[in-house]
Amino acid sequence: MIPLSKRAGAEFLGTFWLVLGGCGSAIFAATFPDTGIGFLGVALAFGLTVLTMAYAVGPISGGHFNPAVTLGLWAGKRFPQKEILPYIIAQVVGAIAAGLVLYIIATGKADFDKSKGFAANGYGAFSPGNYTLFACFITEIVMTFMFLIIILGSTDKLAAAGFAPIAIGLGLTLIHLISIPITNTSVNPARSTGVAIFSGGTAIAQLWLFWVAPIIGGVLAGLAWKVFWEKEP
């Protein structure tokens, strides 16, 4: 059994890379200078961060990189309750560390303005498409639910071995393609926290939704998988 400290360290590193790569692409490359990678590129960047770290450190920690995933796996009887808090702490600290690196880099540009969003999530006037709180809440629940279904299914003991990171990474890419215009896509409370702290203001005030909704979606998926879709040995 790999020690919990090493598994938590892997979760820190994986979440760090997710925020650095995903949010970094949104901050620096999405519209650079007149044309950039756009929504498609940012969506792919988030998917690639999960795919690469799932292969790199997934064998150590399971590759959660997301409190909603940890809680969803716990709800599906795939993760022990006693290890939830250490995993979530590692994930949030990793996300904040990445947010700090992004902030240091971003402030190296003379016209940097964190009020433009800093890849933060939001609803209402802070939603990229000005979607309502209710629309954003439902979006985050449903997208996280589907993300956990992909994770639970692709990592099932009867699923083809070795391909789960590909399905999970592509699933996260698709989720971003759907929901970037709505909430800037969270489905991950750690990811939201890591940049909201440095964006400040509205991002902090609205952060509650990007904890509550993904956790609801993740837990519902874990419970539903256990009841309806888990395969018999």
User: Which residues have CB under 8 Å from 52's CB, separation 6+?
Assistant: 17, 169
| Max CA distance (Å), the chain | 60
Instruction: Identify whether the C-beta of residue 213 lies closer than 8 Å to the C-beta of residue 141.
Output: yes
Alpha-carbon distance of 157 to 132, in angstroms, equals 40
Q: Which two tokens stand for residue 159?
A: 């699923």
Alpha-carbon distance of 132 to 138, in angstroms, equals 10
State the pTM of this model. 0.96
Q: Which two tokens stand for residue 156?
A: 């099932």
Q: What is the pLDDT along the chain (233 residues), one digit of tens a residue?
A: 899 999 999 999 999 999 999 999 999 998 876 778 999 999 999 999 999 999 999 999 999 999 999 999 999 999 999 999 999 999 999 999 999 999 999 999 888 887 777 999 999 999 999 999 999 999 999 999 999 999 999 999 888 889 999 999 999 999 999 999 999 999 999 999 999 999 999 999 999 999 999 999 999 999 999 999 887 65
* Domains detected in the chain: 4-228 (1.20.1080.10)
